[in-house]
Amino acid sequence: MVRLTRAIEFSSSLRYFRPELPEAENARLFGPCVRTHGHNYRLEVTLRGEPDPVTGMVLDLKDLKVVLEREVEARFDHRDLVLDTPYFEKQVPTPENFALLLHRLVAAALPKGLLERTRLYQDADTFVDVVDPERS
Amino acid sequence: MILSTRRYRFAAAHVLANPALPDDENRRIYGKCANPNGHGHDYGLEVTVTGTVDPVTGSIVPQELLDSIVRERVLDRLSHRMLNADPLFADRVPTAENIALAVRESLEKPLEDAAGVRLVNVRVVETPRNFFDHGEAP
């Protein structure tokens, strides 16, 4: 088995806000994150598999690049996660929720069982890993 | 499984020498790291926890809570100190391995009790060229 990791970077704006809660409760729960702000995200996806005996590759990196551009960059880069995407109407875009979403989107676009781990850096000091439960 | 990691920093000094051993033996084992007046590093510290994502806050642990536990239990204690003088290292040499172990021991229970999360791994980055994990590295 070989692991390969490819990274993609993108920038988005966001805020944490639950419309069903009063404003004061949002402020208490989320602090400065209730205000619109932004991050330079870095996503690392790690695939695990056997290299193809002919090509020597687990997956052609060109294909992986296309998947990441379509599933991640096109949806989220230079957009507002809450206002410009349909994914955060019922949940706040914390790195946990965002990483779980990205893991689902990327896994669904790859051959089954290939995606082992998704790591989302929100900034240099904060990151979340989603590890496929079957692999952990 | 979902894991959340935060990275911190602290600057500290240490001497790598086992007081039970003669000076020349310490010098043989630890080389220049046994210099009796010490040396120091800008340590990086990565704390990885796991737990359930709260449906309202969307977080495993509020960031300020995690940061305050790490600050109170570890950073305030070790930052700008001679590590050998800390009781954490009374019975062990403050190698990066033992720093990772001591940090894990210091954080495990407070993280469980105050934040309801499980500490999965502690990574001590001693220099840009070496780091040490205690736990299950993500």
Query: Could you report the per-residue pLDDT of A69-101, keeping only the tens digit for each?
Result: 999 999 999 999 999 999 999 999 999 999 999
Over residues B82-111, the mean pLDDT reads: 97
Read off the pLDDT band of A134 (50, 70, 90): low
Tokens of B118: 């499980």
User: Looking at residues B2-18, what average pLDDT do you find?
Assistant: 97
Judged against a pLDDT cut of 90, whether residue B45 lies above it is answered with: yes
B80 assigned to active site: yes
Q: What integer pLDDT is reported at residue B136 of this predicted model?
A: 85
Minimum-distance CB partner of A96 among B53, B56, B64: B53
Checking if the pLDDT of A136 tops 70, the result is: no
Residue of A nearest to B6 (CA): A126
- Sole residue written with tokens 């979340």: A128
- A130-134, B22-26, B87-91: which has the minimum mean pLDDT? A130-134
Q: Which domain range does residue A52 map to?
A: 2-131
How high is the mean pLDDT of chain A? 95
Cβ neighbours of A130 in B, within 8 Å:
1-3
Residue A133 has pLDDT above 90, yes or no: no
Residue A136 contacts B where some CB pair is shorter than 8 Å: yes
Rounded CA separation A4/B93 (Å): 37
List chain A residues with CB under 8 Å of B51.
Answer: none
A44 forms bridges with which residues in the sheet?
A7, A119
Q: Are strands A37-49 and A2-14 parallel, antiparallel or unpaired?
A: antiparallel
CATH level 2 (architecture), domain B3-135: 2-Layer Sandwich (3.30)
Whether residue A113 lies inside any domain: the answer is yes
Closest by Cα among A134, A135, A126 to A96 = A126
Cβ-based burial of B43 (10 A; exposed 0-12, middle 13-18, buried ≥19): buried
What gap in Å lies between CA B98 and CA B124, rounded to an integer? 10
Q: What is the mean pLDDT of residues B2-25?
A: 97
Q: What is the mean pLDDT of residues A26-40?
A: 96
Supply the pLDDT for residue B131: 96
Contacts of A40 (CB under 8 A, 6+ apart): A9, A10, A11, A123
**Residue A129: which of A46, A14, A51 has the closest Cα?**
A46
d(CA A34, CA A17): 6
Mean pLDDT of chain B: 96
A128 in reach of chain B (CB within 8 A)? yes
How far lies A92's CA from each of A7, A21, A58, A87, B117, in Å? Answer: 24, 12, 35, 9, 20
Which pLDDT belongs to residue A81? 98
CATH number at residue A72: 3.30.479.10
Number of domains in chain A: 1
Bridge partners, A130 (sequence order): A118, B2
| Contact between chains at B60 and A96 (C-beta distance less than 8 A) | yes
pLDDT at B128: 93
B chain contacts of residue A126, beta-carbon cutoff 8 Å: 5-7, 63
Domain boundaries, given as residue ranges, for chain B:
3-135
pTM (global) more than 0.80 = yes
CB pair distance less than 8 Å for B2 and A127: no
- CA–CA distances in Å: residue A44 to residues A9, A110, B20, B116, B132: 9, 15, 46, 28, 21
Does residue B31 carry a pLDDT above 50? yes
